[in-house]
Amino acid sequence: MTRTVLITGGAGFIGSRLAADLAGAGDDVVLLDSLHPQVHASGWPALPAGITAIPFDVTVPTMWDAVLRSVHPDVVVHLAAETGTGQSLTEASRHTRVNVVGTSELLDGLHRAGVVPERFVLASSRAVYGEGDWATASGERFAADARDVHQLERAQWDPASPDGSVATPLAHAAATTHPRPSNVYAATKLAQEHVLHAWASAHGAPLSVLRLQNVYGPGQSLTNPYTGIVSLFGRLARDHRSIPVYEDGSITRDFVFVDDVVRALAAATRSDRAGTTTVDIGSGAPMTLLDLAGVIAEQAGAPAPQVTGQYRLGDVRAAFADVTAAGALLGYEPRFDPSRGVALLLDWMATQDAPTLRAA
d(C-alpha 213, C-alpha 259), whole Å? 13
Reported residue count of the chain is 360
**Amino acid identity at 110:** L
* Chain centroid to CA 188: 13
185 is catalytic: yes
Helix residue spans in the chain (DSSP H):
13-24, 61-70, 92-96, 102-113, 149-153, 184-203, 229-238, 258-269, 289-300, 324-330, 338-349
Q: Nearest CA to 83 among 39, 132, 18, 129?
A: 39
Contact between residue 4 and residue 115 where contact means Cβ atoms under 8 Å apart: no
The active-site residue out of 129, 185, 226, 311 is 185
Q: Nearest CA to 233 among 284, 288, 157, 294?
A: 294
Contact between residue 277 and residue 271 where contact means Cβ atoms under 8 Å apart: yes
Which sequence positions are flagged as catalytic? 185
